[in-house]
Amino acid sequence: MSKRITVAIDGPAGAGKSTLARRIADKLGYLYIDTGAMYRAIGLWAVRANVALSDMHRLEQLANEARIEFVPGSGGVLLNGEDVTEAIRAPEIAEAASKVSMVPAVRRAMVAKQREIGERASVVMEGRDIGSVVFPDATVKIFLDARPEVRVERRAGESLLPPEIIARQISERDQRDRTRPESPLVQAPDAVYVDTTGLSVDDVEAALLKIIRDRTSNGKERTQ
């Protein structure tokens, strides 16, 4: 049986992780796992259930009880059987996700689920701590980045909010994600840094596929 391959893609909001990770997973025939969607699902549940985002104990319970599923091939996300694909993309849920993701017990529950998925299949998993914490031994680690103004521009294209509001939201989330004590967003020392500023999606895809193919051969990890 061929060895499972784990491709870890980390980076800040708007760097292009979701678009690229999904494309690459399609090309390679691996599972695509958007771990931000998992934190968003917990954030959504907390907001709907009126759980304070400072109530660590209740948030831990929600994270342990949540059944989060990815619908293969469609990018769909189910929370306890309900399709929440659209609902988790609301700006207030991005905010809630960033806050619940600071809670250590919530992270522990999500990391356990992510490892379970990655132990069963070859995956392209994207997030903030995949190469540093979830899969420190990932086959390939990529840190995707872009200049802040480019990341704001990309998010503004997907939203009805004015660019200055998006710029503030992204900068606050970046700050929280990079400075939280538990698993902050950092580049793993062995990750390949890719700056997507000024590059087309096709160019970045080609660059990432080359990095992955250089590290793997016929779906098997290179040993030398």
Binding site for ligand DC (CB under 6 A): 13, 35-36, 39-40, 94, 97-98, 101, 127-129, 173, 177
For the chain, the straight-line distance linking the first and the last C-alpha, in angstroms and rounded, comes to 20
- Nearest-approach distance from CB 53 to ligand DC, in angstroms: 12
User: Given the complex with ligand DC, which of 64 and 217 has the nearer CB atom?
Assistant: 64
User: Which residue, among 98, 68, 102, 97, has the nearest Cα to 85 in the 3D structure?
Assistant: 68
Query: How many residues are listed for the chain in this entry?
Result: 224
DSSP string, 57-88: HHHHHHHHH--EEEETTTTEEEETTEE-TTGG
Is the separation of the CB atoms in 155 and 106 below 8 Å? no
User: Given the complex with ligand DC, which of 102 and 208 has the nearer CB atom?
Assistant: 102
User: Given the complex with ligand DC, which of 40 and 154 has the nearer CB atom?
Assistant: 40
> Residue 191 in 3-state DSSP?
coil
**How many CA atoms does the CB half-sphere of 192 hold within 13 Å?**
18
- Nearest-approach distance from CB 37 to ligand DC, in angstroms: 6
- Nearest-approach distance from CB 202 to ligand DC, in angstroms: 22
For residue 124, list its beta bridge partners: 7, 32
For residue 216, list its beta bridge partners: 221
User: Given the complex with ligand DC, which of 157 and 206 has the nearer CB atom?
Assistant: 157
Kind and range of the H or E run holding 37: helix 35-48
- Nearest-approach distance from CB 224 to ligand DC, in angstroms: 31
- Nearest-approach distance from CB 142 to ligand DC, in angstroms: 14
Task: Return the structure tokens found at 143.
Answer: 């840190």
User: Given the complex with ligand DC, which of 113 and 173 has the nearer CB atom?
Assistant: 173
- Nearest-approach distance from CB 199 to ligand DC, in angstroms: 20
> Residue 50 in 3-state DSSP?
coil
User: Given the complex with ligand DC, which of 11 and 206 has the nearer CB atom?
Assistant: 11
